[in-house]
């Protein structure tokens, strides 16, 4: 199993400002036309598990299947289809575990944006929901959730990332206190929070006392730098999280063998850990499925990556279905919003190697649980999945829906120093998903 190193330096580093961020073109109403506070939709969720399919998952090979192609000259889906729990709705044949549970979900088949040529830019777009700015570094969606909902316990972080610790996940102008804890080492947790064997409680207290003195002296010489105080606060939180309340969540052996096995391999164990972290009080957990290249390319299925794409889909199917059932069994599904997102989709045509290129003008993301009105499909694409023909959803709208499901007002203004910045770029929540 792949593991990732984590230490306090990483924890502090990931809380620093990002260099840039990107967002979607606004396709929604201007801010002046936003609904009044008393009229806006509000969801029931208080936590989010954000599943990231890095590389660009093919919507027509997963949740928006079309007519069968031949892998060469005839465009279309690469696999057959099966029926789901939503009448008249089909998915890829390799989603056989998820298909009967699709009534807990709401596939959004009409996500669209304008960045298809570069993975990093599209990833930033999907994480920040913003157009680029030369003057403001915008926060990631996880950092906004941390800022708006806060921590449930001082011993547990608000925001955790299992995957790549890059600028797309950073807190931007919200500051390091709304950065993330980076992991995953699913068996032991972040190693930087574990004391060395030769450091007992008394020695640890002496070290903390010395560190406090040095921090106070340093802050006293730099009173004009607000980040110094914020970083000190982050460091103190790191010490608090070194206790059993947070680290015990990583002991997956507390779960039955049958449950662990139901989740499957590496990605599945991350999903199980995400459920345990949410249960422990974490507000936002991102789980990346872009590190297990079972097919040689991950979700970026150019050329030969398409041939074994089914291995990725089957892994996703097992882990995602187990997560839904586990959340349901532990009575967390109503209060936990599960998001499945990717940077863009793939076109119906095949390249010279039998794979697919990039497509951002129509692709699928998915929401589940969170007290939403699931069991429905939002949006529709044409016969080949190339163009949105019904209910287009911008990235800003997608973010507004996630925030609304968590009870966060997507039009509320945050402040980058003295400059007001609405939480989303004029995004409108998908009202059909709210009762």
Secondary structure of 196-219 in HEC code, one letter for each residue: CCCCCHHHHHHHHHHHHHHHHHHH
**Angle 337-339-341 (CA atoms, 0-180°, nearest 5)?**
170
Going by DSSP bridges, is the β-strand pair 81-83/90-92 parallel, antiparallel, or unpaired?
antiparallel
Residue 19, pLDDT score = 29
Please report whether residue 232 resides in a domain: no
Please report whether residue 231 resides in a domain: no
Instruction: State the Cα–Cα distance between residues 63 and 81, nearest whole angstrom.
Output: 10
Q: Which residue range forms the structural domain that includes residue 78?
A: 8-194+242-433
Residue 237, pLDDT score = 54
Q: With beta carbons less than 8 A apart as the criterion, state whether 150 and 273 touch.
A: no
Residue 165, pLDDT score = 77
Buried residues in 55-93 as b, exposed as e (16+ CB within 10 A): bbbbbbbbbbbbeebeeeeebbbbbebbebebeebbbbe
Please report whether residue 146 resides in a domain: yes
Please report whether residue 236 resides in a domain: no
Q: With beta carbons less than 8 A apart as the criterion, state whether 58 and 360 touch.
A: no
Low-confidence ranges of the chain (pLDDT < 70): 1-39, 184-243, 291-292
Q: With beta carbons less than 8 A apart as the criterion, state whether 283 and 310 touch.
A: no
Please report whether residue 31 resides in a domain: yes
Residue 349, pLDDT score = 97
First-last CA distance in the chain: 42
Instruction: State the Cα–Cα distance between residues 214 and 90, nearest whole angstrom.
Output: 61
Q: Model pTM greater than 0.85?
A: no
Residue 296, pLDDT score = 83
Residue 185: give its domain's CATH number: 3.40.720
Please report whether residue 201 resides in a domain: no
The percent helix, strand, coil of the chain (3-state, each to 5) is 35, 15, 50
Going by DSSP bridges, is the β-strand pair 81-83/284-288 parallel, antiparallel, or unpaired?
unpaired
Please report whether residue 210 resides in a domain: no
Q: How many domains does the chain have?
A: 1
Instruction: Note the pLDDT tens digit of each residue in 240-249.
Output: 555 577 888 8
Which ranges constitute the DSSP H helices of 350-424? 395-405
Tell me the backbone φ, ψ of residue 413, rounded to 5 degrees: -90, 130
Residue 134, pLDDT score = 81
Please report whether residue 17 resides in a domain: yes
Rg value, the chain, Cα: 22
Residue 225, pLDDT score = 60
């Amino acid at each position: 199993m792949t593991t990732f190193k984590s230490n306090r330096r990483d924890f502090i580093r990931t809380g620093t400002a990002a260099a840039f961020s990107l967002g979607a073109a606004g396709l929604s109403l201007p801010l002046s036309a936003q609904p009044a506070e008393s009229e806006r939709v509000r969801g029931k969720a208080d936590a989010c598990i954000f599943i990231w399919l890095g590389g660009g998952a093919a919507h027509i090979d997963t949740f928006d299947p079309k007519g069968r192609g031949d892998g060469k000259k005839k465009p279309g889906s690469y696999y057959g289809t099966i029926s789901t729990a939503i009448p008249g709705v089909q998915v890829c044949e390799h989603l056989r575990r998820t298909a009967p549970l699709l009534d807990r979900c709401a596939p959004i088949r009409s996500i669209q944006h304008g960045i298809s040529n570069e993975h990093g830019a599209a990833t930033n777009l999907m994480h920040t929901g913003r157009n680029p700015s030369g003057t403001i570094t915008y926060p990631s969606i996880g950092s906004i959730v941390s800022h708006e909902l806060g921590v449930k316990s001082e011993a547990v972080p608000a925001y955790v990332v299992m995957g790549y610790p890059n600028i797309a996940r950073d807190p931007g102008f919200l500051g390091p206190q709304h950065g993330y804890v980076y992991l995953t080492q699913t068996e032991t947790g972040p190693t930087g929070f574990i004391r060395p064997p030769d450091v007992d409680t008394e020695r640890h207290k002496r070290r903390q006392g010395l560190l406090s003195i040095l921090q106070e002296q340093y802050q006293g010489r730099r009173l004009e730098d607000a980040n110094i105080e914020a970083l000190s606060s982050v460091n103190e939180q790191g010490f608090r999280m070194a206790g059993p309340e947070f680290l015990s969540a990583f002991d997956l052996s507390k779960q039955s063998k049958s449950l662990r096995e139901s989740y499957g391999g590496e990605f599945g164990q991350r999903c199980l850990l995400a459920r345990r972290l949410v249960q422990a009080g974490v507000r936002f957990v991102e789980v990346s499925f872009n590190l297990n290249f079972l097919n040689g390319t991950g979700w970026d299925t150019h050329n030969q990556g398409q041939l074994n794409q089914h291995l990725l889909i089957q892994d996703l199917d097992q882990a995602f279905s187990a997560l839904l059932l586990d959340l349901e069994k532990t009575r967390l599904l109503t209060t936990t919003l599960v998001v499945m997102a990717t940077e863009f989709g793939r076109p119906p045509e095949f390249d010279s190697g039998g794979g697919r290129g990039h497509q951002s003008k129509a692709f699928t993301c998915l929401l589940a649980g969170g007290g939403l009105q699931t069991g429905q499909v939002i949006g529709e694409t044409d016969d080949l999945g190339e163009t949105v023909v019904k209910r287009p959803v911008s990235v800003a709208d997608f973010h507004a829906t996630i925030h609304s499901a968590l009870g966060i007002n997507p039009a509320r203004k945050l402040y980058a120093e003295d400059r007001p910045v609405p939480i989303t770029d004029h995004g409108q929540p998908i009202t059909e998903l709210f009762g």
